[in-house]
Amino acid sequence: MLSIPQRADAVLEVNLAAIQANFKTVSVMVGPHVRVAAVVKNDAYGLGIIEVTRALAAAGCDLFFAGDLHEAMAIRSSKIGATVAVLCDQFTTLRKYYRSSRITPVVNNPSELDAISAAGEPETYFLNVETGFSRFGLTSDDVRRHYLSGTFKRHPPSVVLSHLACSNRVADAMNVLQSNRFRAISNLLKPARCSLAASAGVWLGKNFHFDIVRVGSALFGLNNAGIQPNPLLPVVKLQANILDVRNVPKGEAVGYGATFRTVRDSRIAILGIGYKHGLPWACGNKISARFAGYSAPLVGRTSMDSTAIDITDIPEAVCLPTVSVELLGESFTVNDLAAAADAYAPEVLMRVAAGCARRYLNVPSALIVKSQ
C-alpha cells in the first residue's frame, strides 16, 4: 500500500518560550513565598502535556496537576523531577499505580480519605474541600467528622485546596465567602500548605494566594479575568493555507445559508480550515485573517473543513494557493476569537489544538524579548 503524506492545511504554532514567560510573570506577581503550580490537565489544554511540562520544568516549575493518572504517568515517563498530582481519578482502585510512580492523589470524597486511613501507613495526599463550587471535595461536615475521629491527626494532608467559582469577577461576593470558608477549614486542619486560587484568582490579591496558586489557562495566554493591560503573552498562532481562489460576481452568495452576498465583483480565497479544526462556526462574517501585511474578512459561514475570506483588495501576487494566512496570533488572540464567537476561551483553545497539526517554537519571539 502506498504511503500518502498527511496534508496539514491548518497548523497551530505553540510558543513554549511564551508559556515559560507567563509562568515567570505569575511567579513575580505572587512573590517568592508562593509556589506556582502548573495545571496541565487535558493534555495541557490540548497543547501537548510532555512538551509543555518539560518547558515549564526548565523555567523552574516543580509542581504539576494532571487531569488523570494516565497523564501523570506520562509526565513521570518524561523524567521530570517534580511533584505530580492527579486532580481526579479512581484512587481507591488504582492506588498501587500512584505509589509505584510516586504520584500524589487529590482526595475528593470521604471514601478516598477512608481508603488512606484504612491503610494504616503514611501516605502523601492533597485534600480537596468544598467551599461553594459543588463539584468535588469534602464538605465542611465531612471534614469535621473526620477531624473528630482523628483521621487527620493520623494521616494529615500535605496540602489542602479548594476552587473558586467566580474568581474572574473581582467584586463577586462569592470570592470572599469561599475564602472565609476555606480559612475556617484550614485553621482547623492546619496543613503544611494551602491552595485556593487558580489562574483568574491570582489577580484577586495576596489574601487569596496562600501557599500555592494553581495556574492553567494563564500559562497558555488566556486572560480569563480580563485584566488590562494584559500581562500575559499570547502562546499560540493559528495558520491556514489558501487552497483555492475564486472570482465571484456581484450579488452572489458565499457559503451555507447565503449569509454573505458580494456587493461587487470579488475575489474569494478558500482556506483549509473549518469547524473540524476547532474554528468556531459562529465566527463567520465576524473576524479577519491576516497575511502579507493585509487583513481579509471571513465571509459566509464556516464549513466543516473550509472557510472563505474576501481578498478583493489584496494584490493577486500574494494570494496564491499554498500561501499561509494567520487567524490567531499576537494581534488577535484566543480571547478575541472567543469573544467574537460568544464562546469560552479555554474551550476554543482546546478545540483548535485538538483539530490542528501542532508545531512547537522554542526560541523567544521579538515580543518576548521586548517584555523581559
Binding positions: 135, 304
Residue with cell 473558586: 164
Please say if 256 is a catalytic residue.
Answer: yes
Contacts of 241 (CB under 8 A, 6+ apart): 9, 10, 271, 272, 321, 322, 323, 324, 325
From 41, 45, 98, 125, active-site residue: 41
Backbone angles phi, psi at 65, to 5 degrees: -110, 115
Backbone angles phi, psi at 138, to 5 degrees: -75, 140
In one-letter notation, the amino acid at residue 59 is A
Binding residue ranges for substrate? 135, 304
C-alpha angle 94/73/50, rounded to 5°?
155
Q: Which of 225, 238, 184 is nearest to 353 (CA)?
A: 238
Which class for 331: exposed (0-12), middle (13-18), buried (19 or more C-beta within 10 A)?
Answer: exposed
88 in Cβ contact with 136 (< 8 Å): yes
CA separation for the pair 133, 217 (Å, rounded): 18
From 153, 250, 256, 344, active-site residue: 256
Q: Is 328 left (phi over 0), alpha (psi -120 to 50) or beta?
A: beta
Backbone angles phi, psi at 71, to 5 degrees: -65, -40
Please say if 276 is a catalytic residue.
Answer: no
Give catalytic residue positions.
41, 256
